[in-house]
């Protein structure tokens, strides 16, 4: 079964958190597929990963670009695992075939009531399906701590 970690954004927006999570994936020598809610969001995230920090570099691309299969981090609006990712990252309430991955990071905006309700439903569904599930929330300084 897939290990699914839910990341409840409270203090920092996705644009600050996502690059840091992806840095950890790359540091571990893993590949990731990031599924966003729309093609427009994919392009926004693609630009973000080029510019989020002046001294950092995250090797990435989108499924619409050449050599998608060679990208350690691939961005898409649907589950299109051309790069052979073992880690699935879901943002904007996007969905993917969890069984096809070793690990899934479900990142959601805890300040949006609709997103929070949907994340709770996904959490419950993952537990019922037998996936290993964990929940992470940001503390007062923006660090991740495991929740109940």
Whether residue 12 is predicted with pLDDT greater than 80 in this model: the reply is yes
Classify the C-alpha dihedral 86-121-138-10 as positive or negative: positive
Closest CA to 12 of 110, 123, 118, 147: 110
Q: What is the pLDDT of residue 99?
A: 95
Instruction: Give the pLDDT mean for 134-146.
Output: 89
Q: What is the pLDDT of residue 148?
A: 66
CATH assignment at residue 13: 3.40.50.10110
Instruction: Give the pLDDT mean for 39-53.
Output: 94
Cα 122 to Cα 107: distance, rounded to the nearest angstrom: 11
Residue span of the structural domain in which 9 resides: 3-146
Number of independent structural domains in the chain: 1
Helix (H) / strand (E) element for 34: namely strand 32-35
Q: Count the helices and strands in the chain (H runs, E runs).
A: 3, 8
Closest CA to 79 of 35, 41, 131: 35
Name the token pair of 38.
């729309």
- Per residue in 79-123, pLDDT (tens digit) is 999 999 999 999 999 999 999 999 999 999 999 999 999 999 999
What does the radius of gyration of the chain's CA atoms come to, in whole angstroms?
14
């Amino acid at each position: 079964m897939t290990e699914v970690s839910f990341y409840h954004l409270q203090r920092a927006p996705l644009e600050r958190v996502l690059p840091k999570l992806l840095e950890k994936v790359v540091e571990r020598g893993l590949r990731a597929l990031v599924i966003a809610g729309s093609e427009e969001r994919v392009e926004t995230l693609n630009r973000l990963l080029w510019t989020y920090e002046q001294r950092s570099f995250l090797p990435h691309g989108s499924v619409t670009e050449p050599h998608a299969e060679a990208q350690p981090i691939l961005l898409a609006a649907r589950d299109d695992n051309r790069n052979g990712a073992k880690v699935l990252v879901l943002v904007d309430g996007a969905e993917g075939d969890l069984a096809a991955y070793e690990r899934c990071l479900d990142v959601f905006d805890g300040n949006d009531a609709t997103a929070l309700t949907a994340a709770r439903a996904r959490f419950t569904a993952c537990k019922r399906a037998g996936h290993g599930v964990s929940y992470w929330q940001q503390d007062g300084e923006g660090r991740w701590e495991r929740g109940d």
